[in-house]
A and B are shown apart, each in its own frame.
Chain A
Amino acid sequence: MAATDLDILASEGMRSLCLGGHVGFDSLPDQLVSKSVSQGFCFNILCVGETGIGKSTLMNTLFNTTFENEEASHYMDGVLLRPRTYDLQESSVDLKLTIVDTVGFGDQINKEESYKPIVDYIDTQFENYLQEELKIRRSLFNYHDTRIHVCLYFIAPTGHSLKSLDLVTMKKLDSKVNIIPIIAKADTISKSELHKFKIKVMSELVSNGVQIYQFPAEDEAIAEINSSMNAHLPFAVVGSSEEVKVGNKMVRARQYPWGVVQVENESHCDFVRLREMLIRVNMEDLREQTHARHYELYRRCKLEEMGFKDTDPDNEPFSLQETYEAKRKEFLGDLQHKEEGMRQMFVNRVKVTEAELKEKERELHDRFELLKRTHQEEKRSVEEKRRDLEEDMNSFNRRKVAAETLQGQAFQGSAQLSIKKDKDKKN
Chain B
Amino acid sequence: MDAILQEKLAEKLLCPRARSSRQKDRQYVGFATLPNQVHRKSVKKGFDFTLMVAGESGLGKSTLVNSLFLTDLYKDRKLLNAEERISQTVEITKHTVDIEEKGVKLKLTIVDTPGFGDAVNNNECWKPITDYIDQQFEQYFRDESGLNRKNILDNRVHCCLYFIPPFGHGLRPIDVEFMKALHEKVNIIPLIAKADCLTPNEIKKLKDRVRDEIEKFGIKVYQFPECDSDEDEEFKQLDKELKECTPLAVIGSNTVVEARGQRVRGRVYPWGIVEVENQSHCDFVKLRSMLIRSHMHDLKDVTCDVHYENYRAQCIQDMTSKLTQDNRVDSPLPILPLPTPDAETERLIKMKDEELKRMQEMLEKMQQQIHEKEQ
Interface, chain A (partner B; CB < 8 A): 50-54, 71-75, 107-112, 156-168, 184-185, 187-188, 190-191, 204, 207-208, 254-262, 267-268
Contact = CB atoms under 8 A, between A and B. Distances in A.
B354 to A, nearest CB: 52
A211 to B, nearest CB: 16
B270 A268 contact: yes
A200 to B, nearest CB: 9
Contact of B83 (A110, A204, A260, A267): A204
Contact of B86 (A72, A109, A164): A164
Given A160-B57, A160-B79, A257 B121 contact: no
A257 B118 contact: no
A54 B168 CA distance: 9
Contacts of A166: 82
Contacts of B165: 156
Given A74-B170, A158-B58, A261-B271, 8 more contacts: A50-B167, A51-B168, A109-B173, A164-B118, A204-B83, A256-B196, A256-B200, A257-B278
B116 to A, nearest CB: 12
B268 interface: yes
B129 interface: no
A204 B81 contact: yes
28 contacts: A53-B167, A53-B168, A71-B169, A74-B170, A74-B172, A109-B121, A109-B123, A110-B120, A160-B57, A161-B81, A161-B82, A164-B83, A164-B85, A164-B119, A165-B120, A166-B82, A168-B120, A184-B167, A190-B268, A190-B269, A204-B82, A208-B83, A257-B200, A257-B278, A257-B281, A259-B269, A259-B271, A259-B273
B270 to A, nearest CB: 5
A253 to B, nearest CB: 9
Nearest to A107: B172
A74 B168 contact: yes
B103 interface: no
B120 A254 contact: no
Contacts of A262: 271
A159 B59 CA distance: 9
Nearest to A54: B167
Contact of B79 (A74, A161, A165, A254): A161
State the majority secondary structure of interface residues on B. Answer: loop
Contacts of B86: 164, 167-168
B185 interface: no
Interface string B182-201: 00000000000010110110
Contacts, number: 129
Contacts of B173: 74-75, 107-109
B350 to A, nearest CB: 46
Nearest to B58: A158
Nearest to B259: A258
**Interface pairs A-B: 7 shortest CB-CB:** A158-B58, A259-B272, A188-B197, A52-B168, A259-B271, A258-B272, A162-B82
A76 to B, nearest CB: 9
Interface string B150-171: 0000000000000001111111
Nearest to B117: A109
B208 interface: no
Contacts of B177: 109
Contacts of A72: 169
B256 to A, nearest CB: 14
B62 to A, nearest CB: 11
B121 A158 contact: no
A156 B169 contact: no
Nearest to A159: B58
Contacts of B118: 163-164
Contacts of A204: 81-83
B331 interface: no
In this complex, the member of B79, B81, B125, B200 whose beta carbon has the largest number of chain A beta carbons within 10 angstroms is B81
A105 B174 CA distance: 13
B250 interface: no
Given A107-B173, A185-B197, A208-B83, A258 B281 contact: yes
Contacts of A107: 172-173
Given A161-B79, A190-B269, A267-B270, A110 B122 contact: yes
A71 B168 CA distance: 10
Contacts of A73: 169
B279 to A, nearest CB: 10
Contacts of B196: 187-188, 256
Contacts of A157: 167, 197
A79 to B, nearest CB: 13
A112 B87 CA distance: 10
In this complex, the member of A72, A156, A256 whose beta carbon has the largest number of chain B beta carbons within 10 angstroms is A256
Nearest to A71: B169
Contact of A156 (B125, B167, B272): B167
Nearest to B273: A258
A109 B116 CA distance: 11
B160 to A, nearest CB: 19
Contacts of B269: 187, 190-191, 258-259, 261
B306 to A, nearest CB: 28
A110 B123 contact: yes
In this complex, the member of B81, B88, B167, B272 whose beta carbon has the largest number of chain A beta carbons within 10 angstroms is B167
B179 interface: no
Given A107-B173, A188-B197, A258-B275, A158 B57 contact: yes
B122 A111 contact: yes
A158 B122 contact: no
Contact of B270 (A74, A191, A255, A257): A191
A92 B58 CA distance: 46
In this complex, the member of B82, B168, B278 whose beta carbon has the largest number of chain A beta carbons within 10 angstroms is B82
B274 interface: yes
A160 B85 CA distance: 12
Contacts of B167: 50, 52-54, 156-157, 184-185
A152 B240 CA distance: 45
Given A112-B120, A188-B197, A158 B271 contact: no
B262 interface: no
A109 to B, nearest CB: 5
A322 B302 CA distance: 82
